[in-house]
């Protein structure tokens, strides 16, 4: 019998996994060309030819629009700022509600707050982890204006159901597709499944420019408002002849020429990088499926999954040990990943804690000490952020789901065999785990 590493036995593997890396010679050369040109950014924050940025920015926007199959692509300096542009463009403001997901990176829910609107959390689907259409519909009030959906882990949201709810209630849908570039549903790419899509180009994403983001839409009016918010709207509207001043407060969300040049190289690599991830996840799915308590991710009919994160379910009743005890024991068998040593093994119980459990929502303190915009003269609703409002998200996070990143390039199929061996070893020796389950909070 092999002793589990968590009980002092030998680990399945000591040698760190290779650092995540998608940058090569093409990017280096593209950056040098921009540096040689001397034009590191060419934006002007006034109504002028350069209001829309320099040549590399415009080139990336054209390429991205072509790739996704959409009329407008608008580069920004992050997906977070892209989400802020998108919410601002819809005209949302004080007193309005925006339906958001609780199970996502925090920016997808915070975007409404930037415009003093109130985020309302709908629950997620138990199989695909995206917003549940029935729960979304139940959250709609006369104050609802926008739904922000998330293609979580790289799986497209249920666009048919949610778009039909949105059309019925005259709501705009913003698709946070930060985790799903290149995925799609029924022949359409992510980003085009809602009214506005927002991608991320931060270092952790499938392709990146260090920091960066791209917004896409087919709607001319929304596109122009987003370009204004990106670049000092209030200083531009008069000369440009814009008369609707709602939310025409500008920011500086501009991408540099260097980032845009890297982005063009990266976009060309996206399909290849995606297929590496898909193959790695298929390998893991096939082998981990042999462990009776583990369920690999399901994919909705007609959808493709881009596997930003590999999310699987663990059934503690079948196993006779809790998810947390099992996963902690698997972690103990595996090494860290180079350049991210301090984070430990890139395997976790759950994903991001349901967002409404953050202090900002629990205490309802965002702007000033008196609860604005959750309470105050503009807002006639009474938003609920108590534990229990999204039972599926809570069950997934605290009991069933586990997620890992050990499928990102340049991980090899031999590396993946070590990961499978760790899961299998702990499964076969799970009687060594304590009979007192620990539960994460
Ligand atoms: C990464 C991520 C973001 C934020 O992206 P940035 O470019 O870092 O601002 C937003 N939403 C989701 C779902 C993400 O995964």
Determine the average pLDDT of the residues in 182-200.
98
**Rounded to the nearest whole angstrom, what is the distance from the C-alpha of residue 175 to the centroid of ligand 1?**
12
Write out the two tokens for 111: 């975007």
Q: Are 214 and 223 within 8 A, CB to CB? A: no
- Nearest ligand 1 atom to the CA of 107 is 10
**Rounded to the nearest whole angstrom, what is the distance from the C-alpha of residue 212 to the centroid of ligand 1?**
10
* CA 126/CA 134 separation, integer angstroms: 12
**Rounded to the nearest whole angstrom, what is the distance from the C-alpha of residue 24 to the centroid of ligand 1?**
23
Around ligand 1, the residues with Cβ closer than 6 Å are 78-80, 104-105, 107-108, 150, 176, 178-179, 200, 202, 213
Phi, psi at residue 150, to the nearest 5°? -130, 135
Q: Are 30 and 36 within 8 A, CB to CB? A: no
Span 160-187, pLDDT tens digits: 999 999 999 999 999 999 999 999 999 9
Residue-averaged pLDDT of the chain: 96
Note the CATH number of domain 270-352+393-435: 3.90.1150.10
Tell whether the model's pLDDT for residue 414 goes beyond 70.
yes
Span 52-69, pLDDT tens digits: 999 999 999 999 999 999
| Of 119, 132, 129, the residue nearest 151 (C-alpha) | 129
pLDDT computed for residue 434 by the predictor: 73
Span 340-390, pLDDT tens digits: 999 999 999 999 999 999 999 999 999 999 999 999 899 999 999 999 999
pLDDT computed for residue 441 by the predictor: 57
**Rounded to the nearest whole angstrom, what is the distance from the C-alpha of residue 79 to the centroid of ligand 1?**
5
Q: Are 374 and 383 within 8 A, CB to CB? A: yes
Write out the two tokens for 196: 């506005």
Task: Tell me: cis bond preceding 373? Omega within 30 of 0 counts.
Answer: yes
**Rounded to the nearest whole angstrom, what is the distance from the C-alpha of residue 78 to the centroid of ligand 1?**
8
Determine the average pLDDT of the residues in 335-340.
96
Span 22-33, pLDDT tens digits: 999 999 999 999
**Rounded to the nearest whole angstrom, what is the distance from the C-alpha of residue 84 to the centroid of ligand 1?**
12
Ligand 1 binding pocket mutation candidate from 106, 178, 259 (most atoms within 8 A of CB): 178
In sequence order, the 6+-apart residues with CB closer than 8 A to the CB of 424 are 290, 291
* CA triple 54-57-62, angle to 5 deg: 120
Write out the two tokens for 67: 């790739």
**Rounded to the nearest whole angstrom, what is the distance from the C-alpha of residue 103 to the centroid of ligand 1?**
13
pLDDT computed for residue 2 by the predictor: 78
Distances (CA, A) of 362 to 113, 249, 397: 15, 29, 18
How sure is the predictor about 439, in pLDDT bands with cuts at 50, 70 and 90? Answer: low
Span 225-262, pLDDT tens digits: 999 999 999 999 999 999 999 999 999 999 999 999 99
Ligand 1 binding pocket mutation candidate from 104, 107, 129, 213 (most atoms within 8 A of CB): 107
Q: Which residues of 408-431 are buried (b: 16+ CB within 10 A; e: fewer)?
A: bbebeeebbebbbebbbbbbebbe
Q: Where along the chain do its domains lie?
A: 25-268, 270-352+393-435
* CA 233/CA 213 separation, integer angstroms: 19
pLDDT computed for residue 435 by the predictor: 53
Q: Are 151 and 183 within 8 A, CB to CB? A: yes
- Nearest ligand 1 atom to the CA of 179 is 15
- The residue with greater pLDDT, 50 or 439, is 50
Q: Where is average pLDDT lowest: 190-194, 210-214, 348-352, 431-435?
A: 431-435
* CA 251/CA 233 separation, integer angstroms: 7
Residue closest by Cα to atom 5 of ligand 1? 79
**Rounded to the nearest whole angstrom, what is the distance from the C-alpha of residue 204 to the centroid of ligand 1?**
9
Ligand 1 binding pocket mutation candidate from 101, 108, 180 (most atoms within 8 A of CB): 108
- Nearest ligand 1 atom to the CA of 81 is 9
How sure is the predictor about 431, in pLDDT bands with cuts at 50, 70 and 90? Answer: very high
Note the CATH number of domain 25-268: 3.40.640.10
């Amino acid at each position: 019998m092999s002793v589990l590493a968590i009980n002092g036995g030998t680990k399945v593997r000591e040698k760190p996994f290779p650092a995540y890396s998608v940058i090569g010679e093409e990017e280096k050369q593209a950056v040098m060309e921009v540096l040689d040109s001397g034009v590191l950014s060419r934006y002007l924050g006034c109504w002028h030819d350069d209001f829309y940025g320099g040549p590399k920015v415009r080139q990336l926007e054209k390429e991205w629009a072509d790739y996704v199959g959409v009329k407008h692509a608008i580069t920004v300096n992050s997906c977070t700022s892209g989400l802020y542009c998108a919410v601002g463009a819809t005209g949302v403001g004080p007193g309005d509600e925006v339906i958001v997901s609780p199970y996502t990176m925090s920016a997808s829910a915070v975007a409404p707050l930037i415009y003093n609107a109130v985020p309302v959390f709908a629950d997620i689907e138990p199989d695909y982890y995206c917003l549940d259409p029935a729960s979304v519909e139940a959250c709609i009030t006369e104050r609802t204006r926008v739904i922000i959906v998330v293609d979580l882990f790289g799986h497209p949201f249920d666009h048919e159901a949610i778009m039909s709810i949105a059309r019925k209630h005259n709501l705009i849908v913003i698709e946070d597709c930060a985790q799903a570039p290149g995925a799609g549903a029924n022949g359409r790419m992510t980003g085009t499944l809602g009214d506005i899509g927002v991608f991320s180009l931060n270092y952790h994403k499938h392709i990146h420019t260090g920091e960066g983001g791209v917004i896409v839409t087919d709607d001319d009016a929304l596109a122009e408002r987003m370009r204004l918010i990106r670049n000092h709207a209030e200083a531009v509207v008069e000369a440009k002849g814009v008369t609707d001043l709602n939310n025409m407060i500008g920011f500086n969300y501009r991408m540099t020429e260097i980032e845009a040049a890297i982005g063009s190289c990266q976009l060309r690599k996206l399909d290849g990088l995606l297929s590496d991830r898909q193959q790695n996840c298929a390998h893991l799915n096939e082998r981990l499926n042999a462990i009776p308590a583990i369920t690999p991710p399901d994919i909705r009919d007609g959808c493709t999954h881009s596997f930003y994160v590999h999310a699987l379910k663990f059934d503690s009743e079948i196993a006779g040990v809790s998810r947390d005890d099992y996963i902690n024991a698997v972690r103990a068998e595996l090494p860290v990943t180079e350049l991210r040593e301090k984070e430990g093994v890139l395997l976790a119980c759950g994903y991001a804690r349901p967002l409404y459990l953050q202090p900002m929502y629990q205490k309802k303190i965002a702007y000033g000490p008196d609860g604005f915009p959750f309470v105050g003269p503009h807002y006639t609703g009474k938003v609920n952020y108590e534990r229990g409002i999204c039972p599926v998200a809570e069950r997934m996070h605290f009991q069933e789901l586990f997620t890992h990143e050990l499928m990102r390039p340049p991980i090899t199929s031999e590396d993946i065999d070590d990961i499978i061996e760790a899961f299998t070893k702990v499964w076969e020796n799970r009687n060594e785990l304590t009979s007192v389950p620990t539960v994460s909070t």
